[in-house]
Amino acid sequence: MAFHFAVAVPGLGLPRHAAEVDVGALPQGFDYYAGGHIHKPIVMALEELGLSGVGYLAYSGPLETVSYRDARFEKGFNLVRVSADKEVEVERIRLESPRKFVVFEEDISGLSPAEATRRVAERVEAVDERGAVIIPIIRGRLPPGALRSEIDLSAIRSASELALTVRPVLKVEEAGISGLALPSERADIRQRAYRYFVELFKGKGVEEPEKLAEAAIELIEPLMAEDEESVKKILEGLVL
């Protein structure tokens, strides 16, 4: 019997809700159940599953890597022989031809997007291999004010000269800015706003974030008062 769905059996390592059919719902009387859909190769004796017969239920897995999550699984197919007296033999034929995947994880927590880009690009250069598919899985939490979109995926892809392709997987969180509840005291408001801007500018990779944060605070009142001369003076102080 050939089928293409996930059977609820412990050997597959699936959460119960991910299985589509209970093993008891399979029709009885077959010597070999050839399953598709599960990409992990596995062979289980029918008696272990409570099914009648002395054969097997098996998932041979795909012949090629479909997702980077499958890269760790051996690729191949099963050659099955059933004798006249119902003896079942399963021979695993392993393939050596599938594309090679190089999968690695990089935690960029606390780095600015520019620093994260450089870190991952350096890893790609280090594992570069002709004909391979490189999958950098980028994890972590960015500093406050930094955005996922600021990580330069194009630069990471171009860091390889030999690989078939580089396909970054971005699993990065953006940090919120904490402590922004405004107290009543004016001095405390300025202090909290200053800390906010410092964190924001650090996340952007700005040099001298404290100087820029101080200028941002000083700009508030003249901007609200439309005092162009004072605004100009503060901005000129940043570049002189």
pLDDT in tens, 107-165: 999 899 999 999 999 999 999 999 999 999 999 998 887 888 899 999 999 999 999 99
User: Is the separation of the CB atoms in 71 and 98 below 8 Å?
Assistant: no
Both tokens of residue 12? Answer: 């597959």
CB atoms within 10 A of CB 229: 8
DSSP state string for 14-54: --GGG--EEGGGSPS--SEEEEES--S-EEEEGGGGT-SSS
d(CA 174, CA 134): 25
Number of domains the chain is built from: 3
Task: Please report whether residue 216 resides in a domain.
Answer: yes
Domain with 192, as residue range(s), is 186-239
CA distance 186 to 194: 12
The reply to whether 106 and 86 lie within a common domain is no
Half-sphere exposure of 73 (CA within 13 A, CB side): 20
Average pLDDT, the chain: 85
Residues 6 or more apart in contact with residue 222 via CB below 8 angstroms: 228, 230, 231, 234
Burial track 205-224 (b if 16+ CB lie within 10 A, e otherwise): bbeebeebbbebbbeeebee
Kindly state whether residue 16 falls inside one of the protein's structural domains: yes
Residue type, 65: T
Q: With 70 as the cut, is the pLDDT of residue 181 above it? A: no
74 and 133 in a single domain? The answer is no
Out of 66, 94, 122, pick the residue that ends a domain.
94
Residues 202 and 234 grouped into a single domain: yes
Q: Could you tell me if residue 179 is inside a domain? A: no
Residue 180 lies in a domain: no
- Domain-located, residue 181: no
**Which of 79, 94, 109 corresponds to the end of one domain?**
94
> Would you state the pLDDT for residue 135?
96
Domain boundary among 56, 78, 94: 94
Is residue 9 domain-shared with residue 81, that is, in the same domain? yes
* Residues 167, 90 within the same domain: no
Instruction: Give a yes or no: residue 178 inside a domain.
Output: no
Residues near 34 by beta carbon (within 8 Å), at least 6 away in sequence: 1, 2, 3, 58, 60, 78, 80
Same domain, 68 and 122: no
**Is the same domain home to 105 and 44?**
no
Instruction: State residue 89's pLDDT score.
Output: 93
- Does 7 share its domain with 90? yes
Q: Which letter does DSSP use for residue 186 in this model?
A: H
Q: What is the pLDDT of residue 161?
A: 95
Full-model pTM:
0.63
Q: Say how many CA atoms lie within 13 Å of 88 toward its Cβ.
A: 18
Q: What pLDDT is attached to residue 147?
A: 84
